[in-house]
Amino acid sequence: MEIFIGSDHAGYEMKKNIKEYLQGKDFKVTDLGSFSGEESVDYPDLTREVAEKVLEYPGSFGIMICGTGQGSAMAANRFKKIRAALCDSEFLAEMARAHNHANILCLGARVIKNDLAIKIVDKFLNTKPDKDQRHKRRVEKIDKNVG
């Protein structure tokens, strides 16, 4: 499974922890930046890079981390066929994948702690989309109406 991960400066430390964890689980992780927690960077730029890679490589996932996760989710969802979910619990991560077929997980480094972030990532990556026709129909409407 290929994962594209990015963060702004606020999410840099959390991104490092998640990246290390995923690499230890044999995921292919591509870090798109930022590469420092010191230098201020704009989350929309990094979110665009993550979203473009997820679109370029079907079946891949994205993880984007900024201060609250909210800005990254908003920026990512501007792209057609991207379904980004801001999750601060395992339940939200599970529902985002199962019901909404989310392909980018957004996390807030100033909102949740690293240990919870790892649990949310695990739940997101290990939940399969529900094949129920009502969820499929709704996801198709999301994809049609965005972009």
- The set of catalytic residues is 99
Output Rg (C-alpha) for the chain, integer angstroms.
14
- What's the order of all strands across the beta sheet hosting 28-31? 28-31, 2-7, 61-66, 104-108, 84-86
The CA distance from 135 to 29, in Å, is: 29
Q: Which amino acid is present at 104?
A: I
